[in-house]
Amino acid sequence: MNLAESKEAFIRLVQIPSVTGSAGEETACAFLEGILREYGIPSERIAKEPGRPNLLACLRAPHPELEPVVLISHIDVVDGDPKKWSHPVFGGEIAQGRIFGRGTLDTKQLTMMELYGFLKLKEREQDLKRDVWFLATIDEEGGSAYGMEYVKTVRPELFRNAVVINEGGGFPLHINGKNYMMLTVGEKAVCRARVWAEGTGGHASAPGDDQAIQKLAEGLRRIFAAEEKLNWGSRHTRETMEAIVGSADWDNEAAADIFGYAGQNSIAMRNYRIGERSNVIPARAEAVLEFRILPGATQKDVAEFLDQALAGTQAQYEITGFEPGFESHFDNSHLKELVHDLNQACAHYGFEGEVLPMLALGRTDGRFFGSEGSFVYGCSPLLMGDSFDTVLPKVHGNDESILEESYLFGCRVLEEILRKNCLQEEER
Ligand SMILES: [Zn+2]
């Protein structure tokens, strides 16, 4: 596959309306399967339910010396409102040098960049020094129960001890007069807790002073007032960011937010329930809180925080879910090599700037690997014309689009990185 063919195939993939849970997921899977077959690569469908397949393919090293590389991406997309788009949502139309369509940034561009690099490795399969997997999944936008989560139950060995290329990074940013290529090196943990209180219910005409809602409100007030005590977790990524940029004062707003995000734990109220009828005082009131906490922090940290904050109140809590975070230390050799290679490849193909690590802004399918000790990096490299601040509103938004040049750049950069990391006797 050459670059022109890759771009054409990318547009065709964008034209498949693979909205999560729709028949398009299978069409997209079959499309990729067809390309792999054409290049002599067998692939395997992994499906929890008929009609909702994930696609897995592997290039086997004759004598693997290193842990495998796993190229992941999702081929399902969220829908779009055609009335708010200036081009058809699944048109793949090109205008002003940009390819328009849902999935051009999240994450069909990554699927096709990875596939391009994967097919290039196929040409030198006998020189591989590690196995390389290509894994395109569905249902990422729906929570991944039919996607990555299910693949993990079927093929758990794939998730341990791997180097993973994932979504979430690769977007450039201009900070304090210089360009940076963002590379995600970790994700925060997410912890959900239900906080509730009980009181005397009754008719609204006689509220009394034993009201559940007042007790809950006091509990929530205490929790949010103690937010600054949330000081657990690793700030390593933030420190590295500061050292590379040479300042903690960043002049790009989006970048400053990303920098702040890497240094703080936060609490958000996601939901609440306080009775349904207007003339009745509820006997129970509850709120659902979501903690986003830095890698390294644990469920126990959250429980101790809530124990303290709610001590002496009449509110109670229960932790309903905990997904651990993860982080690659910037001093580990994998990351050092990757950053070195990414810096070189970016420079080689026309991006002048430096790689800057960050924590992913939300949870991705990478969490299924990161929690098993794999090294997960978010990297679909784009050019400055698709800088992070301009890309963010388009992801799940209107007029999602990518510069043709960015797409080709990403293919070239990933191809070079994979070649250097996966083939014998490649110069570093
Ligand atoms: Zn998305």
Instruction: DSSP for 170-232, please give it.
Output: --EEEETTEEEEEEEEEE-EEEEEEEEEE---EETTS--S--HHHHHHHHHHHHHHTGGG---
Q: Is residue 199 part of a domain?
A: yes
Q: Is residue 293 part of a domain?
A: yes
Residue 252 has pLDDT above 70, yes or no: yes
- Claim to verify: residue 355 and residue 374 sit in the same structural domain: yes
For residue 202, give the CATH number of its domain.
3.30.70.360
Which of 282, 307, 323 is at the close of a domain? 323
With CA atoms as reference, report the closest residue to 54 among 22, 76, 78.
76
Residue 147 has pLDDT above 90, yes or no: yes
Q: Is residue 236 part of a domain?
A: no
Q: Which two tokens stand for residue 41?
A: 């690569």
According to DSSP, the β-strands at 284-293 and 266-273 are antiparallel
- Claim to verify: residue 135 and residue 273 sit in the same structural domain: no
Q: Is residue 241 part of a domain?
A: no
Q: How far apart are CA 362 and CA 103, in angstroms?
A: 17
For residue 50, give the CATH number of its domain.
3.40.630.10
- Claim to verify: residue 291 and residue 180 sit in the same structural domain: no
Q: Is residue 235 part of a domain?
A: no
Distance of CA 72 from the midpoint of ligand 1 (Å):
14
- Claim to verify: residue 318 and residue 412 sit in the same structural domain: no
- Claim to verify: residue 414 and residue 342 sit in the same structural domain: yes
- DSSP secondary structure letter of residue 169: -
pLDDT at 332 (0 to 100): 74
Specify the length of the chain in residues: 428
According to DSSP, the β-strands at 53-59 and 132-137 are antiparallel
Buried b (16+ CB within 10 A) or exposed e, 273-290: eeeeeeeebbeebbbbbe
Summarised one tens digit per residue, pLDDT across range 282-298 is: 889 999 999 999 999 99
Q: Is residue 239 part of a domain?
A: no
Distance of CA 364 from the midpoint of ligand 1 (Å):
9
Residue 137 has pLDDT above 90, yes or no: yes
Distance of CA 396 from the midpoint of ligand 1 (Å):
6
Distance of CA 270 from the midpoint of ligand 1 (Å):
19
Distance of CA 203 from the midpoint of ligand 1 (Å):
45
Q: Tokens 């979430």, residue?
A: 168
pLDDT at 277 (0 to 100): 73
Protein residues with C-beta less than 5 angstroms from the ion ligand 1: 106
Distance of CA 17 from the midpoint of ligand 1 (Å):
14
Q: How far apart are CA 85 and CA 98, in angstroms?
A: 14
Instruction: State how many domains the chain has.
Output: 2
Q: Which two tokens stand for residue 186?
A: 């970790």
Q: How far apart are CA 212 and CA 222, in angstroms?
A: 16
- Claim to verify: residue 346 and residue 274 sit in the same structural domain: no
Rg (CA), the chain: 24
Q: How far apart are CA 116 and CA 30, in angstroms?
A: 17
With CA atoms as reference, report the closest residue to 334 among 362, 294, 376.
376
Give the residue-averaged pLDDT of 229-241: 92
- Claim to verify: residue 213 and residue 352 sit in the same structural domain: no
Q: How far apart are CA 190 and CA 298, in angstroms?
A: 10
With CA atoms as reference, report the closest residue to 12 among 37, 31, 38, 34.
31
Q: How far apart are CA 128 and CA 152, in angstroms?
A: 25
Mean residue pLDDT of the chain comes to: 94
Distance of CA 311 from the midpoint of ligand 1 (Å):
39
Q: Is residue 258 part of a domain?
A: no
Q: Where are the alpha helices (DSSP H) in 208-296?
A: 212-225, 236-245, 253-261
Summarised one tens digit per residue, pLDDT across range 89-117 is: 999 999 999 999 999 999 999 999 999 99
- Claim to verify: residue 375 and residue 387 sit in the same structural domain: yes
pLDDT at 427 (0 to 100): 62
- Claim to verify: residue 112 and residue 200 sit in the same structural domain: no
Residue 379 has pLDDT above 80, yes or no: yes
Distance of CA 140 from the midpoint of ligand 1 (Å):
7
- Claim to verify: residue 318 and residue 396 sit in the same structural domain: no
Which of 300, 323, 346 is at the close of a domain? 323
Distance of CA 415 from the midpoint of ligand 1 (Å):
24
- Claim to verify: residue 40 and residue 152 sit in the same structural domain: yes
- Claim to verify: residue 31 and residue 105 sit in the same structural domain: yes
CA 121 to chain centroid, in Å, comes to 25
Q: How far apart are CA 117 and CA 113, in angstroms?
A: 6
Q: Indicate the Cα dihedral angle 228, 232, 237, 239, nearest 10°.
A: 60
Q: Is residue 103 part of a domain?
A: yes
Distance of CA 226 from the midpoint of ligand 1 (Å):
32
pLDDT at 279 (0 to 100): 75
What residues make up the domain containing 287?
189-230+265-323
- DSSP secondary structure letter of residue 67: P
Summarised one tens digit per residue, pLDDT across range 338-369 is: 889 999 999 999 999 999 999 999 899 999 99
With CA atoms as reference, report the closest residue to 259 among 381, 355, 358.
358
Which of 301, 323, 345 is at the close of a domain? 323
